[in-house]
Amino acid sequence: MDIAPDADLEKFRAEVAEFLDTAPTPEIREAGRRTTSVFGPFDQVMAWHRILHARGWSAPDWPVEHGGPGWSVEQRYVFADEYQKRGLPPLLPNGLRMIGPLLMELGTPEQQARYLPGILSGEDYWTQGYSEPGAGSDLASLSTMAVPDGDDYVLNGSKIWTTYAHHANRMFMLVRTSREGKKQQGITFLLLDRMDLPGLEVRPIIGLDGAPEQCEVFFTDVRVPQADRVGAENDGWSVAKQLLKHERGGSAHSPMLRRRLEVARAAAAETPSGFGGTLADDPVFQRDLGELEAEVASYEHFEKLAISGHPIARDPAYPSLNKVMSSELTQRISVLMTRVVGLDGLPDQREALLVGSDAEPLGGDLALIAMPYYLNSRATTIYAGTNEVQRDLIARTLRS
């Protein structure tokens, strides 16, 4: 075992800190404070993505040949740590953590050359088109059809839970190309290089938190070149499974959870408990905060073990363990936040939450975000494979 501190690392930390202290615009900082989802305010997050890219730091986990900074595991943790300490908004995951790594692995050289630069730089935003109204957890029963026609596919059907599709200029998606055999067969993985295609229509869906984060996308005779297929026709299921691996693991999520907890802790120091003194001084709050501190710590340890090459990362249950732990911690932290703000969480402040809004916020920063964050995070145990599906998968690895 080895966890010795390292002087070079401290130099690196100073360099990161200096940049993160100076590079983000006030709007980007504000966007960070007003992030109530995995998906922060779109314009500011993308602007920040481009600033980070200019410094070469937009994709800490990417290999050097594709534009990654070539950092060690420790450096990546230091970066995530300093990033989160400043409450900066996370970059959107779809490009950097999902379709990007997938294209590196399974894309053609042409696809890589065409698409990776825009993902790295933040020119492009990709939405994910997997779920359909009839196919949620049971993804394999999707029915949006792609029929070959000349060099193209012709698409008909609809997709739902396409995050920020109304902002997206690109999309990766699963379509049905065959009704033969098992329903997992006959699925194909496609790239859409634009969203303003004839016959493609996007309808935003308002969420519980009042934000149009998710969308429905309708396809009526939409033409997509077959060259934008990833993997073989009818082999999209295994392509998607490969992608899930990237989605469910491998990055440093714990610094963000820790940051959320610090926000709650700091707000508690300025909140009366109702029993005399502040919430921070209240033993009940301390115990509950302490429990989440301990849980976040264990999750951080789990992440560090995995990232540093401990065998846990090769456990077939690893991606599911990671998803369940991180999503349920997110929810528990969000509940603590709503407890801290109490009554002040009740005003619906969806207007004031917008970056640059004229609306006067009621209460402090936490009062503004606690309830929408809580409501939004109810989705973390639903998307990317419900936690029920994840537990099924974990249990399967325990069967002898």
Partner 1 sequence: MDFTFTEEQTLLRDSVVRALQRDYSFEARQSIVRSGTGWSPDVWARLVELGLTALPFPEDVGGLGGSVVDVVAVAEVFGEHLLVEPYDASIVLAGGVLAAVGRKDELERIASGEAIGALAHEEGRGTPDPSLVTTKAERSADGYALTGEKRLVLHGADADVLVVSARLDAGLALFLVDASAPVATRFTTVDGRRAAHLRFDGAPGTLLAADAEPLLRGVLDRAIVVLAAEAVGAMGGLLRRTAEYASTREQFGVPIGSFQTVAHRLADMKIAYVAARSTLLHTTALAEAGRLAPQDVAVLKAQVGRLGRRVGESAIQTHGGVGMTDELPIGHLHKRVLAVDAMFGGTDHHLRRLGAPRSPAATG
Among 285, 327, 334, 385, binds partner 1 (CB under 8 A): 285
How near is the Cβ of 344 to a second copy at its closest, in Å?
21
13 binds partner 1 (CB under 8 A): no
301 binds partner 1 (CB under 8 A): yes
Binding mask 322-351 for partner 1 (x = CB under 8 A): --xx------------xx-xxxxxxxxx--
Gap between the Cα atoms of 290 and 339, Å rounded:
15
83 binds partner 1 (CB under 8 A): no
Q: Which residues contact 334 (CB under 8 A, 6 or more apart)?
A: 260, 370, 373, 374, 377
Can you list the pairs that 43-50 forms with residues at least 24 positions away whose Cβ atoms lie under 8 Å?
Answer: 43/355, 44/89, 44/355, 45/89, 45/90, 45/91, 45/92, 46/92, 46/122, 46/125, 48/24, 48/88, 48/89, 48/91, 49/91, 49/92, 49/121, 49/122, 50/121, 50/122, 50/123
Q: Which CB sits closer to partner 1, 138 or 149?
A: 138
149 binds partner 1 (CB under 8 A): no
286 binds partner 1 (CB under 8 A): yes
Applying CB under 8 A, the residues found at the interface with a second copy are 275, 282-284, 287
How near is the Cβ of 283 to a second copy at its closest, in Å?
5
Exposure of 361 by Cβ count < 10 A (0-12 exposed, 13-18 middle, 19+ buried)? middle
How near is the Cβ of 400 to partner 1 at its closest, in Å?
5
Can you list the pairs that 118-122 forms with residues at least 24 positions away whose Cβ atoms lie under 8 Å?
Answer: 118/170, 119/95, 120/53, 120/58, 120/59, 120/62, 120/66, 120/67, 120/96, 121/49, 121/50, 121/53, 121/58, 122/46, 122/49, 122/50, 122/52, 122/53, 122/58, 122/91
Residues that bind partner 1 (rule: CB under 8 A) add up to a total of 94
Among 37, 58, 94, 131, binds partner 1 (CB under 8 A): 131
298 binds partner 1 (CB under 8 A): yes
272 binds partner 1 (CB under 8 A): yes
Among partner 1, a second copy, none, the one that 294 touches (CB under a kind-dependent 5 to 8 A) is partner 1
Q: CA quadruple 17, 247, 327, 363: dihedral positive or negative? A: positive
Among 116, 192, 371, 384, binds partner 1 (CB under 8 A): 371
Task: Enumerate residues 35-74 that contact partner 1 by CB under 8 A.
Answer: 73-74
Among a second copy, partner 1, none, the one that 180 touches (CB under a kind-dependent 5 to 8 A) is none
381 binds partner 1 (CB under 8 A): yes
Taking every pair of C-alpha atoms in the chain, what is the biggest distance, in angstroms?
75
Among partner 1, a second copy, none, the one that 378 touches (CB under a kind-dependent 5 to 8 A) is partner 1
Stretch of residues binding partner 1 (CB under 8 A), selected from 47-55, 119-127, 167-175, 264-272: 264-272
Tokens of 312: 């846990």
Chain centre distance of CA 321: 17
400 binds partner 1 (CB under 8 A): yes
* Residue 356: other Cβ atoms inside 10 A: 12
Q: Which CB sits closer to partner 1, 5 or 198?
A: 5
Q: Which CB sits closer to a second copy, 213 or 282?
A: 282
How near is the Cβ of 48 to partner 1 at its closest, in Å?
24
